[in-house]
Amino acid sequence: MEAGDTLPELAVTPDKYLTYRYAGASGDFNPIHIDEEFARSVGLPGRILHGLWSMAQVARAQTEAAGGPERLKRLSVQFRGMGVPEVELVVTSTVRELRDGVAVVDTEAKQGDTRVVRRGEAEIAVS
Amino acid sequence: MGKIFAPVTYAVGREKVREYAHAVGETNPLHLDVEAARAAGHRDVVAPPMFAVVYCAQSIFPALFDPEVGLDFARMVHGAQEFAWGPLVVAGDEITTECEHTGVAERPGLRLFTFETRSVNQDGERVCTGTWTNIVREEG
């Protein structure tokens, strides 16, 4: 891994029922994720993805590129656009710099032109 | 501000790790297959790094709803998140997480509430530090 390198892209399409499975797996049952009617009543287009599920896709792009979960040392992200089910989410990652056996990676996740996760910064052990 | 909530201990179960790993699309057998995890030198299946949200949940949720914190949950959106990880968490671990309300920052039309979670395993090793930033839009 070197500065400027692009890590393999991760593309995943959350199916219609993903938000229910993730709610159960994570314990986050906020109705904006699982109740179509409620989501619309608060001005959303419909049920939206959990931000932390999208962050988990960003994390997975790093651990898969790095060769295992133990290599991911830090990940920080900002949440912006609303992620929605049944639309492909694409995670892109570029190595910004290497220092002391750690690659600092700029990463984000988009659905079409919507940045669901932006300003992601990961630290991956590369020694 | 600076309020520290009582620590909560979470027992990491094998099937919970697998359920979580499936929900986020993990395919690495370390997270799914006990034999593969043991062959790689782990006691049991390995929690994906973002499983931190599961063992932190019972620490962070009460803090969000604490009246002293004063966060209007109905107007809240998750603004930013950071995790820094130490040793891997595996099924069978007991993870104890303490949550601190670290600040409220005012921005035009917004308030940013920040929390830090500090998670240690049964051997006292820090497995994860989380920084949670929640945005609350002002009324009107």
Is A93 in a helix, a strand, or coil? strand
Q: How many Å lie between the alpha carbon of A85 and the closest alpha carbon of chain B?
A: 13
Closest-CA residue to B106 (of B130, B138, B64, B67): B138
Please determine, for residue B140, whether its predicted confidence score (pLDDT) is greater than 70.
no
Closest-CA residue to B3 (of B78, B71, B51): B71
The pLDDT assigned to A87 comes to 98
Q: Residue B74 — very low, low, confident or very high, per pLDDT cuts 50/70/90? A: confident
Task: Please report where in the chains the tokens 């839009």 appear, as a residue.
Answer: B137
Q: What is the rounded radius of gyration, in angstroms, for the C-alpha atoms of chain A?
A: 16
Per domain, the residue ranges of chain B are 8-12+48-137
CATH level 2 (architecture), domain B8-12+48-137: Roll (3.10)
Q: Do A60 and B26 touch (CB under 8 A)?
A: yes
Q: Do A79 and B46 touch (CB under 8 A)?
A: no
DSSP state letters, B32-101: T-HHHHHHTT-SSPBPPGGGHHHHHHHHHHHHHT-TTTT--GGGEEEEEEEEEE-SPPBTT-EEEEEEEE
- 3-state SS string for B85-111: ECCCCECCCEEEEEEEEEEEEEECCEE
Give the separation between CA A59 and CA A74, rounded to whole angstroms. Answer: 9
The per-residue pLDDT for range A101-110, each reduced to its tens digit, is 999 999 999 9
Spatial CB neighbours of A78, under 8 Å, sequence gap ≥ 6: A117, A118, A119, A120, B79, B80
Q: Residue B137 — very low, low, confident or very high, per pLDDT cuts 50/70/90? A: confident
The per-residue pLDDT for range A71-92, each reduced to its tens digit, is 999 999 999 889 999 999 999 9
Q: What crossing angle do the helices spanning A18-26 and B14-23 adopt, rounded to 10°?
A: 150
Q: Which of residues 8-67 of B touch A (CB under 8 A)?
A: 16, 19-20, 22-26, 28, 30-31, 46-50, 53-54, 57
Mean pLDDT of chain B: 95
Q: How many Å lie between the alpha carbon of B4 and the closest alpha carbon of chain A?
A: 22
A37 CB burial (10 A radius; 0-12, 13-18, 19+): exposed
Which of A60, A77, A78, A107 has the highest number of chain B CBs within 10 A, making it the mutation to test binding with B?
Answer: A60
Q: Do B88 and A79 touch (CB under 8 A)?
A: no
Residue of chain B with shortest Cα separation from A64: B28
Cross-strand partners of A123: A74, A104
Q: What is the pTM of this model?
A: 0.96
Q: Is B1 on the interface with A (CB under 8 A)?
A: no
The pLDDT assigned to B1 comes to 62
The per-residue pLDDT for range B16-28, each reduced to its tens digit, is 999 999 999 999 9
Q: Which run of H or of E encompasses A86? A: none
Question: Is there a contact between A105 and A127 (Cβ–Cβ < 8 Å)?
Answer: no
Q: What are the helix and strand counts (H, E) for chain A?
A: 4, 5
Sign of CA dihedral B14, B17, B21, B26: negative
